[in-house]
């Protein structure tokens, strides 16, 4: 994704051993895969089974897709607060029993 942003690339299409790069300015360029960065783009597109990658697709795929991950901290926090409240209530009941027995 950083390669796309650094070079102002809108999309990259894989055709054989060449990449067709479309820039944000709508200019198109065909490049041989001769650098490590371009090789990574080729490998990634083959890995996900797409012959064309766009910056918007990459940005969407980097966002968390499962809400369970973001809610995990909330559930843990609620559990801790619940346990503390139960502990405080139990303490006051025990304290009240000791004062009543005197």
- Tokens 């650094």 sit on residue: 6
pLDDT digits (tens, 9 = 90+) for 62-93: 665 555 566 788 889 999 999 999 999 988 88
Residue 26 has pLDDT above 80, yes or no: yes
Distance of alpha carbon 34 from alpha carbon 39, whole angstroms:
7
pLDDT of residue 82: 94
Answer with the residue of higher pLDDT: 21 or 60.
21
Answer with the residue of higher pLDDT: 11 or 1.
11
pLDDT digits (tens, 9 = 90+) for 30-60: 888 788 877 887 788 788 888 888 877 777 7
Contacts 24+ apart (CB under 8 A), 6-9: 9/55
Mean residue pLDDT of the chain comes to 81
Task: Give the helix/strand (H/E) hosting 39.
Answer: helix 36-48
By C-alpha distance, which of 40, 50, 49 is closest to 1? 40
Rounded to two decimals, what is the model's pTM?
0.52
Domain spans of the chain, in order of start = 2-62, 66-102
């Amino acid at each position: 994704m950083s390669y796309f942003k650094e070079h102002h690339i809108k999309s990259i299409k894989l055709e054989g051993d060449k990449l067709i790069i479309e820039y944000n300015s709508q200019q198109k360029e065909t490049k041989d895969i001769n650098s490590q960065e371009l090789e990574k783009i080729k490998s990634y597109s083959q890995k996900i089974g797409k012959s064309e990658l766009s910056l918007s697709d990459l940005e969407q795929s980097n966002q968390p897709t499962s809400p369970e991950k973001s809610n995990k901290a909330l559930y843990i926090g609620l559990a801790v607060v619940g346990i503390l409240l139960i502990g405080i209530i139990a303490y006051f009941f025990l304290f009240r029993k000791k004062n009543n027995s005197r």
